[in-house]
Structure 1
Amino acid sequence: MIKKVFSTIRFILVNLMVLFFLLFLVNILSSYLLKWTREPSRAELPNYSDSRAMAKKVIAEYNQQAFGYESFTGWRNKPYAARYTHVNENGMRYYPNAYVADSAYKKVRFFGGSTMWGEGSPDSLTIPAIFQAKNPTIQVYNHGQLAYNSRQNVEVLINLINKGEEIGDVIFYDGVNDVSFLCPSDVPVPGHRLAPIFDKKIYGGMKAVAFEVFNKLFLDKTLLLIQKINPPDYDQQYNCDANPEKVQAIVDFMISNWKLAHELVTNRGGKFTAILQPIAYVGNPKVEHLKLGKELGENVQLVYDALITRIKEENFDWIYIMTDAFDNDEYVYIDFCHVSPNGNQIIADRIQSVIKP
């Protein structure tokens, strides 16, 4: 009897080992298949027809970015230095060859997500860098951070005030991250992109750690390949289109954050400007060169429509709607929100005309 039990256990263990080995093997094979079926680089888009070599390098450097924990905001860029991309010890992107104005001159601080940071562009052609070139006697700071929304930008502003920094004038460039990262059904309002991940990783306990290790070894690449071959139904991922209360919550969230930032800046003698940034789903930009997600687009349009209506109703004279900025015959977008350097030039020109430094 005992011998039979041990024989059964051995049979189960051997089969489990074979199963795990096969899962591991399939996962490795899937990682190679994913590389072979990878979408063409964004550097191949018509936006970069005159600068492909630079674009490839810029995008490669972007993919090498590393991040660390930052109090109150969640994360920020770690220092980095390459040919076209530089991030200083404070996590801020900068252009090493830019003219640096004397500290006595006026300060203008730009806040936003990766579009403000300059994804898809070299240091010299981000929105703040172009603005700096237009206004060499102004001190310009790029506080943009990847995936930051309007609330995180407020936290960065408060951190600067806590440190005793002179604030000067402030520009918030928001909209994309507040909508695309708050409309998913598993993200609360207020919240940010990594809220569900932080919850699992920090408070999930040993069970979450064990699952993550198991997933990394045996499943993650296989699941990605399955999703690539048979894309999931994302109607369940975004729920703003089925949840009017959430749409209103996001609108209130953004307006409230902008009002708070406005108060913080103006009370310190500065000028505050909020900009509702362009996004490929709103207006009439040239986007036939892109594959855009329908579900995200429907959710974005709902929130943007409600937000634009609210801005016009309350008649804020310090909020500017720039959703029409790319309604021209140029290739500007490189995905649903990021743009090539010509897009940054357009926005920098619009900002210049608005704040009149």
Structure 2
Amino acid sequence: MKNKLKFILIISRNLLIIFLLLEIFLGVYYSYHDESGVDENTERIYATGVYDGVELETVKEIFRELRLQDMEWESYLHYRFKPMYAKHNTIYENGLRKTENPSLKNSDNALKIFCFGGSTMYSAGSRDAHTIPSELSKLIHTNFPDKNVEVTNFGCHGYTRATENIQLQQELIKNNIPDIVIFYDGVNEIISAHQNNEAGTPTNAYNRKNEFKVAHNYKKRIKLMLRSSYLCRLVITIQRKLKHNTIHARLDDRPDSLAVDIANIFLGYVKISKSLEKSYNFKVFNFLQPVVYSKKNLTEAEQGYFRDQQYYENLYDLSYSIIRKDALMKTDSTFLDISTVFDTSEKTIYTDFCHTGEYGNQLVADRIFKEIEPALTQTKFIENQE
């Protein structure tokens, strides 16, 4: 019995040593792989011409900074950005990205425009001065040079409309009342539903579920440690390559009923924001955002993005279609489907299936400005500037 126990202990010890050595080796490898991979991927993106007029080294700096971004816990939102003061990506202490505001004279009595969305509103892959909110702010300044306007970028990677509604409510509770609220959504509603196989859940909600009460459960600790190990990453990578012959994850097809749920839940959150609009006397604009599936003339690079993540397409097509046909959306002048905003462009707009380069941000900002311009000329706007 003693010999058997001793044998088990020796085997366990040796397995643990092998595991630790593999973790160290794979940790060094993946650290180098990930760091070098950022520049390699950036070079591929740059070669598509999406950053025409911007130097390659500048674009590399932008994406290196994106890799260095980190999150911290935020109640109700799950997470928010940690402060970051980099060359091209500035995130303040409140977790919000810097927006160029050439019209801002006095924040106390400025007309406030809140911009909500995910990483596309944050404008991942763009410099601070060329995000969608910054481009919008510059357009407002060009057309209303004497006005006092402050545009705020609330965009954060992975945020869905549900999270954005909570963000807005938190600002209202603090008596930070906007004049105009812009929601730019569609992408993360589908991604989160696809990940969790359930509509209306936060992005990466399954990770939060796995982490819940881990401090009080050794079994969960061990599972979490194994799931987050480099060895587990290696195994998953090998599985994907063997099964799909690609590094991209291919999740199972989702039923049409999931798209119906996505649309209905999204519309529910739109209605909630409309009720807040009436209570707090601001104007809400809901923009259904473009994705590579909705662009009419795809370049060669964009066709590649389309193929790589085509498994999202059916959810986008069906959920977008249901949203467009909804009675409220058809009669609501502040609901605007701008998914075709790039249809006349022959250039490469996207850096992947949903994120756009700085030129794409300009086109989106231009379209948003045209839609909100009438609200900027209303009496309330004029009075707020005096």
Q: Given the two structures, how large is their TM-score scaled by the length of structure 1?
A: 0.88
Which residue does the alignment assign to 1:237? 251
User: Which of 320, 323, 328 is the aligned partner of 1:304?
Assistant: 320
| CA displacement at 1:171 relative to structure 2 | 0.7
1:147 aligns with 2:171: no
1:96 and 1:314 mapped to 2: Cα distance? 34
| CA displacement at 1:332 relative to structure 2 | 0.6
1:101 aligns with 2:105: yes
8 Å Cα contact 2:190/2:262 also seen in 1: yes
Q: Secondary structure at the match of 2:181?
A: strand
Report 1:63-142 matches (<5 A).
63-95=67-99, 98-102=102-106, 103-136=108-141, 137=147, 138-142=149-153
Q: Tell me whether 51-60 or 337-346 shows the greater mean CA deviation.
A: 51-60
**Counterpart AA for 1:31:** Y
Q: Tell me whether 262-271 or 21-30 shows the greater mean CA deviation.
A: 21-30
Number of positions where the alignment pairs a residue of Structure 1 with one of Structure 2:
353
1:288 aligns with 2:314: no
Question: Residues 95-129 of structure 1: CA distance to partner in whole angstroms, max 9, x if unpaired?
Answer: 46745232323211111111111111100011111
Q: Secondary structure at the match of 1:230?
A: helix
Q: Secondary structure at the match of 1:183?
A: helix
**Counterpart AA for 1:40:** N
Which residue does the alignment assign to 1:192? 202
2:176 and 2:287 mapped to 1: Cα distance? 23
**Counterpart AA for 1:149:** T
Which residue does the alignment assign to 1:159? 170
Which residue does the alignment assign to 2:352? 335
**Counterpart AA for 1:89:** E
Which residue does the alignment assign to 1:348? 365
1:195 and 1:13 mapped to 2: Cα distance? 34
1:32 and 1:82 mapped to 2: Cα distance? 21
CA gap of 1:76–1:231, structure 2 versus 1, over 3 A, is farther
Question: Residues 155-202 of structure 1: CA distance to partner in whole angstroms, max 9, x if unpaired?
Answer: 011001111112211111010011122123x34332111211101012
Which residue does the alignment assign to 1:262? 274
| CA displacement at 1:4 relative to structure 2 | 4.5
Q: Secondary structure at the match of 2:184?
A: strand
| CA displacement at 1:307 relative to structure 2 | 2.1
Report 1:211-250 matches (<5 A).
211-217=223-229, 219-227=231-239, 229-230=241-242, 232=244, 237-240=251-254, 242-244=255-257, 246-250=258-262
8 Å Cα contact 1:26/1:222 also seen in 2: no
Q: Secondary structure at the match of 2:68?
A: coil
The answer for unaligned runs of 5 or more in structure 2 is 142-146, 377-386
Which residue does the alignment assign to 2:336? 320
Question: Residues 122-167 of structure 1: CA distance to partner in whole angstroms, max 9, x if unpaired?
Answer: 0001111111112233211111111111111110110011111122
| CA displacement at 1:311 relative to structure 2 | 6.0
Question: Residues 244-267 of structure 1: CA distance to partner in whole angstroms, max 9, x if unpaired?
Answer: 2x2221111111111111221233
1:25 and 1:163 mapped to 2: Cα distance? 47
**Counterpart AA for 1:71:** S
1:47 aligns with 2:50: yes
**Counterpart AA for 1:252:** N
Q: Secondary structure at the match of 1:92?
A: coil
**Counterpart AA for 1:189:** A
Which residue does the alignment assign to 2:384? none
1:117 and 1:95 mapped to 2: Cα distance? 10
| CA displacement at 1:330 relative to structure 2 | 1.5
